[in-house]
Chain A
């Protein structure tokens, strides 16, 4: 399976460099199991075109992820998630739900602040979240 580039979202005006945002998101995809061993990532060119960012930015993210062992380079085919060797698989279990929820917390914090400013109730706020999740599935 190839990841659709639309499943990535970068904020160019964030203080976090775009390459690090990409690295974080690939890490999340791998630790959650969304990306499985053997899955291929979009080519540098594809990803850069889709996200409208500089190719060097994407290439830097991929190279660092390769150095960290999150991705491996397949000659002529691009980057993919490495097949886990049995020892690695034992050493690096998939992130638990709690761990993954933890990663979502900063964004939820921001959401909560904005919701408070807009004087929305919890139910009204969650409605928005539910609607967005539903729209994405359809």
Chain B
């Protein structure tokens, strides 16, 4: 995998007796916009921190921009943008000062772009950082992370503290940044609808493992819900091959499959004289199906 911007091999992270990451294998190709979703406590932030070298994995290995994140070079750092879940900036600085201060660290700082973002998000240049609202603070952190047009942008729950209007604005800007396919983006969220317009890839983290990683379209194309109605009562232990779950009520059954397979459909039709209807699932449905039981 030479074009992988991030790759991990069997990464684990344990805090005391709590195994948060339990063998994460992930390979993110250049140009992908990856939405990382998982329930609260699934390990999203821990994974992101390990990827960025902010936490050291207990075992396994990680390559970020071709380097070990624990010993990241200055040049790799300048190709990397990160917005943490909780933004900490000097409270006594004015907005424009923070921007000027941050810009000095980066050769590739794009001042016009930063100014455009500040205008678009109505950030008050002359206000001090301290009293800014969480939403404004988040936007300012985004300006600081986007200002040097990093090759890889990593965002931990970037829109959690934004109102719906600001969230939409943010996603639009994220799309603008991604237009140039040199940019790779990884962002975590638990709001699936945020992902659907923006993401090209989907990574689902469950109980410390990546249980699904693929192109978003491919996931929608293959994860389906089957509604089965048979001519006679189905047995209690009725199940569909490869299904995540099957629920039986009398002659009806509902099954969610991760790889829609015509052979399986025909099998069910023949064996149970059943009618099978295939339902498309959106991301939220898919996410819920994967976390069922």
Contacts and interface: CB of A to CB of B under 8 A. Distances in A.
B179 A13 contact: no
A5 to B, nearest CB: 14
Given A13-B282, A13-B284, A16-B220, A52 B33 contact: no
Contact of A53 (B197, B221, B279, B281): B197
B93 interface: no
B171 A12 contact: no
B178 interface: yes
Q: Which of B171, B193, B280 has the most CB of A within 10 A?
A: B280
Interface in B164-179: 171-172, 175-176, 178-179
Given A15-B279, A19-B217, A60-B217, A55 B172 contact: no
Contacts of A20: 217, 221
Contact of A52 (B175, B283, B284): B175
Interface in B197-225: 197-200, 216-217, 220-221
Contact of B217 (A13, A18, A49): A18
A15 B223 CA distance: 10
B279 A54 contact: no
Contacts of A53: 175, 197-198
B221 A17 contact: yes
Interface residues of B, number: 26
Contact of A54 (B33, B193, B283): B33
A13 B280 contact: no
B178 A54 contact: yes
A114 interface: no
A45 interface: yes
B196 interface: yes
A84 B65 CA distance: 48
Given A48-B179, A54-B175, A54-B178, A14 B280 contact: yes
Contacts of B217: 17-20, 57, 60
B115 interface: no
B275 interface: no
Interface of A: 12-20, 45, 48-49, 52-57, 60
7 contacts: A12-B197, A15-B220, A15-B279, A15-B285, A16-B280, A48-B179, A54-B200
Interface of B: 31, 33, 171-172, 175-176, 178-179, 181, 193, 196-200, 216-217, 220-221, 279-285
